[in-house]
Structure 1
């Protein structure tokens, strides 16, 4: 077959367009794939975090593609461990960047597909060109928080990790005690100190020393948890977090749950309709319909896992503290009379409806129908 006519004979081949750059970010090195859609992409490897090398590679790629030095540059990379610092560094250099969700990138469906960093970078480059060519749904683009919004999420995320660490230390101590048939109701606090003073002598020196070290770590974690919880409560009392105070006025929602919802979901994301709210939480259905086969695969779980987990917990709490609300009546009428499986399915549906109702409450001031507010000055339920 003859090659297509490229019309290069005696003509100016200068491209008056823009350059696309795809980053494949690694721990030690970055793979860059650069092209303008006309020539084959050029590839290079730079040391991770070497921003000067990135600018040099872009300049060389522009010269290779016969682009002007001030030609616009559009780039992309997958969301991951590097976060958003690279995105914020690219913007002042006039580079329009996209941070894409890795799970939304299409892959080859062969049983044994070839996968290398170079191929991944080339794939990102081709999808970037398709995106700006009009295929806006070729992948999911992450919304970038401001540095202030990202920093505000640190407090409750650290608190969640500390609580997991506290549970791990308690379980470890309890497991070590069971080896000698010693069982205790609560680990930590004054009661634990008294119990340990009475029973420590029954253990071997090595085991006793290990439990004491675990207890010290547990005590440190508990102190940090109390400090962070006090800081959160102080900010709410001082009016620094008005949205959290408003959301916590609803019976069944405590300061902790309101804090997580505002910081992870409602505080910095802009939703246009209820579908976007449910989709961001991953509480959207995932039907599988092909020919005569129709299967419901459950919820997508594609959104924010912290907010999704919390909404399910708040749905159970809502049934307890808001029994006269329209949402609770709907759940009781449709799912309460069924078995455990029916109620588990129904609680997901209730969590989705509750998330939409809370979004409307914060966005437009619409109190969920039938819901009650806490009396002024009452203590919030910790959820």
Structure 2
């Protein structure tokens, strides 16, 4: 699989002469607010707005900005645009790049804000803050913000399979719990909606005080079972598509990350697909970048003589972090003699059997790094057991 850089290359030196028109976009469902700073206009930021989704109107505004800058300076300048990552996704970013506009998508949580208890917040203020952030980034100021690397449309579409399955599983849990709750109010606690004979067993149920199941309650539960069966069918279809995608990846590249992950005992199709589609299709420079992307990087709090840890940042990919915690518990069960499992047991023993939940997070981070090294460099995890061929 082709790798994609996590972070675009930033300027390596501070620059003072930025010959460009800088534009920030504040996107909402109804209005796009355009804040711009052009050469020859001093420090004055101009603000305009277009209707949301009007790309033609946005490009027309860019053309007007270039014409005004040319009239003031008799020079032509490129346009550099910044927007926050959010509900609009990356379609506008891709549309601007197709038009030859330099576009950047920034992580909004990485932009410094006022720490006053009450701070003013409007689209105008946010637009100006975005523009100042873009200027600092283009000057080459270190760590001024974190730019998001937009995935390719193919990569973005592929990972929908695992995400859709997770949504369907959550809906299945809701319907199962609702059916159980309705029956529990009648003194029935042994009914399992996921069993294949759920319809027949529903007809045979009696309440705790010996009555037949009330008519309207039975109708309501039957409708819940209709929705539940539809969900079960959709989950099977999603899993079949996932398995097909894994098979295609293995056929296209024998050394694909998905095939290599499936070699380990304890890693199944869902875990391998999630690890591949959420993280390991990307390129990471080092293990710190990888842990930060998963939200498993430590968060220190140090000031003077105060020095303590606040736990993991949880600022990364929540789906990847959740599957890693599950996989860490499974790793202890299926790989008990591996170096990672022995490290976990020794650490828990040293703490007197306490802090298992804290230590499992550390194991998840170590496991992610170890799997990344195996996929990228072929370094096998010490003591790990592989599935039989």
What TM-score does the superposition give when structure 2 sets the normalisation length? 0.88
Q: Residue 205 of structure 1: CA displacement?
A: 3.3
| Aligned twin of 2:346 | 333
* Shift in Å, 1:240: 4.4
Superposition deviation, residue 69 in structure 1: 8.1
- Separation in structure 1 between the aligned mates of residue 74 and residue 262 of structure 2, nearest angstrom: 56
Task: Measure the CA separation in 1 of the matches of 2:324 and 2:18.
Answer: 51
Structure 1 residue 68: Cα displacement: 6.3
1:209 pairs with one of 219, 231, 251: 219
1:101-180 to structure 2, matched below 5 A, reads 101-180=107-186
- 1:215-255 CA distance string (max 9 Å, x none): 11111000010112123234434634742121011112111
Q: Are residue 305 (structure 1) and residue 318 (structure 2) matched?
A: yes
Deviations 1:16-73 (A, max 9, x none): 9211110111011111101136341110111111001111221222334336685211
Q: In structure 2, which of residues 360, 363, 372 is the aligned counterpart of residue 350 of structure 1?
A: 363
Task: Say whether the 8 Å CA contact 1:282–1:299 is kept in structure 2.
Answer: yes
Within the candidate set 31, 34, 38, 1:32 is matched to 34
Which deviates the most, 231-240 or 37-46?
231-240
Q: Does 1:219 align with 2:229?
A: yes
Structure with bigger RCO (C-alpha 8 Å, 6+ apart):
2
Out of 88, 99, 102, the residue aligned to residue 82 of structure 1 is: 88
Q: Matches of 2:31 and 2:62 in 1, distance apart?
A: 16
Q: Point out where structure 2 has 5 or more consecutive residues left out of the alignment.
A: 1-16
Equivalent of residue 243 in structure 1, options 257, 265, 271: 257
User: Which of the numbers 321, 333, 338 marks the counterpart of 1:320?
Assistant: 333
Q: 1:379 corresponds to which residue?
A: none
1:343 CA drift (Å): 1.5
Residue in structure 2 matching 1:45, options 41, 46, 49: 49
Report the CA distance between 1:187 and its aligned residue: 0.6
Structure 1 residues 122 and 16: alpha-carbon distance in aligned structure 2, compared to 1, 3 A threshold: closer
- The answer on 1:259 being equivalent to 2:273 is yes
**Superposition deviation, residue 285 in structure 1:** 0.7
Query: What's the secondary structure of 2:371's corresponding residue?
Result: helix
Deviation track 1:331-379 (CA, whole Å, cap 9, x = no partner) reads 1112245356422221111111111100010001111111111101xxx
Structure 2 contact 161–241 (Cα < 8 Å) conserved: no
**Rounded Cα–Cα distance in structure 2 between residues aligned with 1:310 and 1:160:** 11
CA RMSD of aligned residues (A): 2.0
Distance of 2:257 and 2:333 partners within structure 1: 23
Distance 2:44 2:226 in 1: 60
Q: Is the 8 A contact 2:24 2:83 kept in 1?
A: yes
Q: Secondary structure at the match of 1:202?
A: coil
Residue of structure 2 equivalent to 1:380 = none
The two structures have a TM-score, normalised by structure 1, of 0.89
CA contact (8 A) 1:16 1:68 kept: no
Higher deviation after alignment, 30-39 or 170-179: 30-39
With 58-67 and 33-42 compared, the bigger mean Cα shift is at 58-67
Whether the 8 Å contact between 2:300 and 2:307 is mirrored in structure 1 is yes
SS at the partner of 1:199?
A: coil
Instruction: Flag the 1:179–1:58 CA change in 2: closer, same or farther, 3 A.
Output: same
What is the match of residue 98 of structure 1? 104
Q: How many residues get paired?
A: 361
